[in-house]
Amino acid sequence: MPAVIGPVEEHWLRGVRRCRSPNQDQRPEGEVSALVLHSISLPPGVFGGDEIERLFTNTLDHAAHPYFAGIEGLRVSAHLLIRRDGECVQFVAFDRRAWHAGQSQWEGRSRFNDFSIGIELEGDERSFTLAQYRALATVFAALSAAYPGLNEGRIFSHQQIAPRRKYDPGPSFDWALFRRMIGSGFHS
């Protein structure tokens, strides 16, 4: 059973497991004003296991699956991973820049890694669990309380900020459910 997600303390969520990623650096302006939602499964379509954590910590065995050979040398991370059961794993402190968005732009603003928090949902762009939506809503409440620049209007899909290059979290992400949860003040 996932731990109870607490408030942000010194840029880390209380109550979540930490797995520090080397794929991060200092934010150029220190700004935290956007949330970017992603989806990931490794290998594609496979859930569970530690492959996502290994990817974000540069310890993935690239010989373990044919797909992994194609991503060898990739240096990426996210601030947070929300697993299928709602467990949260934090890789990067929120005041640091995680390497999640890549080339990105929205309404004239680029380089989203500089000012956004990246959250990966364990999924394959087709399905997410109620436990993930609940955890995400709770995380958003904690983040928006800690970082005044974050609000419901500053939540983006990876596809929105990197169109034609990315498609996550995908068409099955239930934005209406998520917005109802955060609009109602839902938290676990």
The Cα-based distances of 48 to 10, 12, 54, 119 in angstroms read 29, 23, 12, 17
**Active-site residue list:** 120
CA distance 67 to 71: 7
